[in-house]
């Protein structure tokens, strides 16, 4: 994978340049930026998925001979610049993000917390208007209205990041600041963008918005109160809102957060005809009982979650200023990482559409059960037992490593058969006559080592570069799915 490099401004101070070499010097300077630097910057220790912002670099004087060829001059200069950049990576005024997603989350949550010191880095990544970041330690000018407009625009342009950004805002204790900054209209616009990106109909979650009479409303028929209670207990956003009465001060705001709770905890049901009734049932969980009863049910879970969050590393931006970053957690390893490649086929075979109409079980739980069924099909007698909390099984339903295993007794045998059959159309099994197929395509795809890295709204599954499989690649199974509405997150595959 090629790494993109951007240099905002390059100032070159020449020593003595003979008159006959001035035109050549200008041409070499242009070639240095356009061509030569890309090759050497790939080797300075920055991973291809990282976003590294360096505020400024001063390159020591570099002596050259005009008798050298253009290639020799460019090579020498580019290596000197690369060495200076590499040396600056661990110095002040350098910000590293593991992806653009994490930069956006940092922009949202840090601005809401009043910390705009990294505004220059956000501007480098085109997350801020160029004139919004100032080149001083003071950061972004403290204009509340301008900041709010930028934050809302940022989320409207990236609706798949809304839930992750607000989950992280809840963890940092700035969810109330988000409501204050966005206003009710801004919050509704952001939620609606996330809702439609998740497969829901525009504004169908809002008050008075009833679904068109299309399809069977299984959620309403099966008493949405039961699903609502499950969502209320699973959504960190909703638990934060219920625990702090100052966050949602109007019915519209409360309904917006209820819609976010569905997106966070049961994204499969966003596309359901009965989703608006589910949103109203979630709102009722906070209003039907007296506050002590509601908080008595929610606070123990919320308190436990906050204690966990305080001890975990949120993959915040790593800078060289301030306290040392927390050590990286142990990677979540799995021997069944290829299972997540089948997410493409889960969507293509219509399994998700069938799960939408099944209110007898959690949508996430049905996806987990489908992953469990596929692994069981692919496993052989000599394989170690695959635990229910295997990171691949959790990622398959959009959950991070260590999350509680969804509980369901729903039957997914039909969906497992459809996915297996679809895979066999892409990767032919051995026919017994030396046709070059594979004895079990399902095992070929699923049984491969990987590590899983996750946080709200984002899951990376990382494979060894040596494990690239031409059959999997030819079938297009290891292409990044991107945002998967049924999982409620971005799913990305990396080889490293």
Q: What is the pTM for the complete model shown? A: 0.79
pLDDT values of the chain reduced to their tens digit, one per residue, 496 residues: 445 556 656 677 777 778 888 888 888 877 776 665 555 555 555 566 678 787 777 788 888 888 889 888 888 887 887 777 777 766 657 888 888 888 999 999 999 998 888 888 888 888 887 665 544 445 566 567 888 999 999 999 999 999 999 999 999 999 999 999 999 999 999 999 999 999 988 777 875 555 444 444 455 455 678 888 889 999 999 999 999 888 988 888 999 999 999 999 999 999 887 888 889 889 988 865 334 433 443 443 333 343 344 334 444 555 543 333 344 456 799 999 999 999 999 999 999 988 887 766 788 999 999 999 999 999 999 999 999 999 999 999 999 999 999 988 789 999 999 999 999 999 988 654 444 455 799 999 999 999 999 989 999 999 999 999 999 999 999 999 999 999 999 999 999 8
Residue 376 is predicted with a pLDDT of 96
Q: What is the pLDDT of residue 298?
A: 40
Q: Give the 3-state DSSP-derived string for the chain, with helices as H, strands as E and coil as C.
A: CCCCCCCCCCCCCCCCCCHHHHHHHHHHHHHHHHHHHHHHHCCCCCCCCCEEEECCCCCCCCCCCCCCCHHHHHHHHHHHHHHHHHHHCCCCCEEEECCHHHHHHHHHHHHHCCCCCCHHHHHHCCCCCCCCCCCCCCCCCCCHHHHHHHHHHHHHHCHHHHHHHHHHHHHCCCHHHHHHHHHHHHHHHHHHHHHHHCCCCCCCCCCCCCCCCCCCCHHHHCCHHHHHHHHHHHCHHHHHHHHCCCCCCCHHHHHHHHHHHHHHHCHHHHHCCCHHHHHHHHHHHHHCCCHHHHHHHHHHHHHHHHHHHHHCCCCCCEECCCCCCCCCCCCEEECCHHHHHHHHHHHHCCHHHHHHCCCCCCHHHHHHHHHHHHHHHHCCCCCCCCCCCCHHHHHHCCCCCCCCCCCCCCCCHHHHHHHHHHHHHHCCECCCCCCCCECCHHHHHHCCCEEEEEECCEEEEEECHHHCCHHHHHCCCCCCCEEECCCCEEEEEEEC
pLDDT digits (tens, 9 = 90+) for 121-140: 888 888 887 665 544 445 56
pLDDT at site 49:
67
Domain boundaries, the chain: 19-91, 100-115+135-311, 332-495
Confidence (pLDDT) at 322: 33
pLDDT of residue 143: 66
């Amino acid at each position: 994978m090629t790494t993109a490099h951007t240099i905002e401004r390059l100032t070159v101070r020449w020593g003595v340049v003979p008159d006959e070499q001035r035109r050549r010097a200008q041409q070499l300077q242009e070639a240095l930026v356009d061509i030569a630097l890309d090759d050497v910057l790939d080797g300075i220790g920055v991973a291809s998925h990282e976003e590294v912002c360096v505020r400024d670099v001063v390159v020591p004087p570099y002596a050259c001979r005009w008798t050298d060829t253009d290639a020799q001059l460019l090579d020498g200069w580019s290596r000197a610049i690369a060495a200076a950049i590499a040396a600056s990576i661990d110095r002040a005024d350098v910000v590293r993000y593991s992806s653009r997603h994490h930069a956006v989350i940092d922009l949202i949550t840090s601005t809401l917390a009043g910390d705009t010191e990294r505004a220059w880095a956000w501007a480098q990544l085109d997350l801020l208007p160029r004139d919004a970041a100032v080149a001083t330690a003071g950061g972004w000018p403290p204009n509340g209205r301008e900041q709010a407009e930028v934050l809302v625009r940022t989320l409207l342009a990236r609706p798949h990041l809304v839930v992750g950004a607000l989950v992280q805002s809840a963890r940092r204790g700035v969810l109330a600041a988000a409501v204050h900054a966005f206003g009710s209209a801004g919050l509704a616009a952001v939620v609606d963008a996330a809702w439609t990106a998740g497969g829901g109909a525009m504004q169908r979650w809002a008050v008075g918005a009833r679904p068109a009479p299309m399809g069977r409303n299984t959620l309403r028929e099966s008493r949405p109160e039961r699903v609502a209670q499950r969502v209320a207990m699973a959504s960190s956003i909703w638990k934060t809102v219920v625990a702090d009465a100052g966050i949602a001060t109007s019915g519209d705001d409360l309904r917006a957060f209820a819609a976010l709770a569905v997106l966070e905890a049961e994204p499969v049901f966003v596309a359901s005809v009965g989703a608006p009734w589910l949103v109203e049932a979630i709102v009722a969980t906070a209003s039907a009982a007296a506050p002590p009863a509601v908080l008595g049910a929610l606070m123990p879970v919320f308190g436990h979650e906050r204690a966990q969050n305080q001890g975990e590393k949120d993959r915040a931006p790593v800078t060289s200023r301030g306290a040392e970053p927390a050590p990286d957690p142990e990677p979540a390893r799995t021997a069944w990482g290829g299972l997540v490649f089948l997410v493409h086929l889960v969507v293509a075979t219509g399994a998700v559409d069938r799960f939408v109409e099944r209110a007898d079980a959690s949508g996430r739980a049905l996806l987990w059960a489908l992953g469990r069924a596929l692994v069981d099909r692919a496993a052989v007698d000599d394989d170690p037992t695959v635990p229910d909390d295997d990171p691949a099984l959790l990622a398959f339903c959009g959950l991070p490593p260590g999350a509680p295993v969804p509980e369901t007794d729903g039957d997914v045998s039909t969906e497992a058969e459809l996915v297996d059959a679809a895979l066999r159309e892409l990767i032919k099994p051995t026919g017994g006559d030396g046709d070059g197929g594979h004895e079990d395509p399902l095992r070929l795809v699923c049984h491969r080592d990987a590590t899983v890295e996750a946080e709200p709204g984002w899951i990376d599954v990382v494979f060894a570069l040596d494990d690239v499989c031409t059959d999997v690649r030819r079938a297009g199974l290891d292409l990044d799915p991107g945002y998967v509405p049924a999982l409620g997150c971005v799913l990305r595959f990396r080889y490293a």
